[in-house]
């Protein structure tokens, strides 16, 4: 299983973030890096991607992101 993750925003120090994760249930023909696809091709693939995937989209502000990051680092113990 493979999960693709991406974020948009100015970074956790500068402002809000939008983070998305997608797991495809089956192959979507013609799918590639969105920067390599035309807007028309991305729009054509959208319904097929949504129908064949599990996905989550999270909106968070930079303060909450920093708090959660600090908690994660405090609870991390190297293997």
17-63 pLDDT, tens digit each: 788 889 999 989 998 888 899 999 999 999 999 999 999 998 877 66
The pTM assigned to this predicted structure is 0.60
- State how many domains the chain has: 1
pLDDT at 52: 93
- Tell me the DSSP string of 26-68: S--TT---GGGS-HHHHHHHHHHHHHTEEEEEEEE-HHHHHHH
SS3 category, 75: helix
How far is residue 19 from each of residues 32, 44, 60, measured CA to CA in Å? 19, 22, 8
Residue 45: give the domain boundaries. Answer: 3-75
H or E stretch at 12: none
pLDDT at 79: 62
């Amino acid at each position: 299983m493979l999960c693709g993750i991406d974020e948009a925003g100015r970074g956790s120090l500068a402002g809000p973030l939008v983070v998305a994760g997608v797991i495809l249930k089956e192959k979507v023909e013609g799918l590639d890096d969105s920067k390599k696809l035309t807007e028309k091709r991305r729009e054509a693939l959208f319904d097929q991607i949504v129908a064949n995937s599990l996905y989550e989209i999270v909106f968070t502000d930079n303060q909450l992101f920093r708090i959660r990051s600090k908690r994660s680092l405090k609870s991390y113990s190297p293997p």
